[in-house]
A and B are shown apart, each in its own frame.
Chain A
Amino acid sequence: MSTSQPITLIDRPPSAKTLLMNGIFGENPVFRLALSLCPAVAVTTTVLNGLMLGVAVLLVQVLSSVTVALTRRGIHPRVRIPVYTIIIAVWVSAIDMVLAGFFPALYAQVGLYVKLIVAFAIIISRLEVFASRMPLIPTFWDGLGMGLGFLFALLVIGTFREILGSGSILGHMITPEKPLLFFALPAGGFFSIGLLMAFFNAVERWRNGGKASAAGGGGSHGHA
């Protein structure tokens, strides 16, 4: 995982462990690729919110990646992006309807998060850079790794912000006062992500033996 080169530039499909670790650390969607920052800021006021959205993204990412890997030879390259968008939309709608019909209690909790996902940059970017050119098995592990990486990032940001902003963890108060309400507000979300991103970049640099790394903080792709 400590390759300085993005995994997608390697010819041979990497192993499952490499792909999982790549999604969680090396190319973490939020901290390293700086994708889907908008929902990461909006939703992570508490740990529970982050967990729900993370699980929803994990499901949609794996299902969409696998669908693209299976059908990639039938997708015309000139219209691949619209086709990916339709695939994501189909999975989001399918999950939404199945939850509403068969798991109403769960739907009341996660329904909102599922509907948010259709426009997530991280999902379509994994379809484009990985699923569209790799076989099924590595694509599955990449989707799982990226989903877990997103979930992990949301949990870290949510924990950071809930402790500092609300003085609680999973809704249980741990401090009598709210230490820094600022961190519960949207602006505080950006600061939290910035601080954590710097931390993860430092960790990555240390792992690479002090070499500066190209990934991370590429804020120019701050899509929804």
Chain B
Amino acid sequence: MSETVKTPAGATLAPMPASELWRIILSMTVTCALSAVVLGGIYIATERYAEEARVRGERRAVTELLNLSEDAKVLEIRQYLTPARDAVVYRLPGEGTAGGRELVFALDGTLTREGMLSAAAPTPRDLHSLGRIFVAMKDGAPAGFVAEGETRGYKNRIRFFVALTGDWTIAGVRVVEHEEDPGLGAEVATGWFQGQYVGRPIGAVPRLDVTRDPMPEDWRAALRARARTDASAWTTKYGPLEARESEKPIYAVTGATISSRALTDGVRATILHFRRRWELLGPHVTGPAGSAGLEGTP
């Protein structure tokens, strides 16, 4: 520690005595403490608003994906894995002022517990979250589902919603949180990329794959036009094109195959998990009619 050091101004420092070391430690400690105070203060001041904005954005995403009206009834179910990883816990909100319900399934699919959510139940903090399910109800039967999923993107996790219609075709995919690179991986969060998933039946989901072939220009134009065009007018104009592309793999974003594949793998896994879980859960949530839509699916 006795070498000489040049300051930015070019002066030379003498070899460092012990008191110098303490001043350095003090300088760094004060810097870090001040930074912590500033960041902590800003976090406390903004966290509530950021959370509200996030919840608003998610609610909007669900209603847009399922094409619902603002006041449509949406049931939000939270899914958790127990710390021992031996059972899946589903928590449903209560009606009005009543407490929530809880269903617990062992991994082999047997129902091990069904009842009101007691105050002694483990808090979400002790459970491993498996994301949420939103069920849109219409006349006592599910009209559509949104399942929350997560996948490892190129840089960080990508969190997304997958929407399914009541007759089990993909109604839409929406990335709600990601940190991919702008211009590259971030393109998977755009409407034209996510539009590639729309309309695929659940039977085609296990084969859902990604190709690095370039996307045909007419299909790209159609996907870009979808956001600006009325849905029925779009189907009239681009229906044949959509039919041509419906059996093709997802076209990766140029230069961002990893992000494209990550989202596609995540969408596939989330839908397949959701289908398996809903077969067990559906009858308990909506009555026997709830699982009717599944009967005809492969």
Contact = CB atoms under 8 A, between A and B. Distances in A.
Nearest to B32: A86
Contacts, number: 99
A84 to B, nearest CB: 10
Nearest to B48: A101
Given A42-B183, A43-B183, A45-B183, A94 B39 contact: yes
A101 B182 contact: no
Given A100-B46, A101-B49, A112-B180, A77 B7 contact: yes
Contact of A77 (B5, B42, B49): B5
Interface stretch (A15-23, A26-34, A46-54, A203-211): A46-54
A79 B27 contact: yes
Contact of A100 (B13, B24, B53, B255): B53
Contacts of B49: 101-102
B125 interface: no
A115 B179 contact: yes
Interface in B41-86: 42-43, 45-50, 53-54, 56-57
B40 to A, nearest CB: 11
B31 interface: yes
Contacts of A101: 45-50, 53
Given A79-B27, A90-B35, A186-B255, A97 B53 contact: no
Contacts of A195: none
B50 to A, nearest CB: 4
B84 to A, nearest CB: 35
Contacts of B262: none
A49 B182 CA distance: 7
Contact of B39 (A79, A90, A112): A90
Given A79-B24, A86-B32, A184-B254, A100 B182 contact: no
Main secondary structure of the interface of A (DSSP, over half): helix
A113 B179 CA distance: 9
Interface residues of B, number: 37
Given A53-B182, A112-B182, A102 B46 contact: yes
A78 B32 contact: no
A164 B184 CA distance: 17
A151 to B, nearest CB: 15
Interface in A87-115: 87, 89-90, 93-94, 97-98, 100-102, 104, 107-108, 112-113, 115
A101 B184 CA distance: 26
B23 interface: yes
Given A77-B13, A86-B35, A133-B9, A42 B181 contact: yes
A75 interface: yes
Contacts of A128: 8
B10 to A, nearest CB: 9
A139 interface: no
Contacts of B289: none
Interface in A60-88: 74-80, 82-83, 86-87
A34 to B, nearest CB: 20
Nearest to A95: B42
A132 interface: yes
A43 B46 contact: no
Given A77-B7, A97-B46, A101-B46, 19 more contacts: A42-B183, A76-B23, A78-B20, A83-B28, A86-B32, A90-B35, A90-B39, A93-B39, A97-B42, A98-B42, A100-B46, A100-B50, A101-B47, A101-B48, A104-B54, A104-B56, A107-B53, A113-B182, A129-B8
19 contacts: A43-B181, A77-B5, A77-B13, A79-B24, A82-B28, A83-B28, A89-B35, A90-B39, A101-B53, A104-B50, A104-B54, A104-B56, A104-B57, A108-B57, A112-B180, A112-B182, A115-B179, A116-B181, A186-B255
**CB-CB nearest 3 A-B residue pairs:** A101-B46, A104-B53, A101-B49
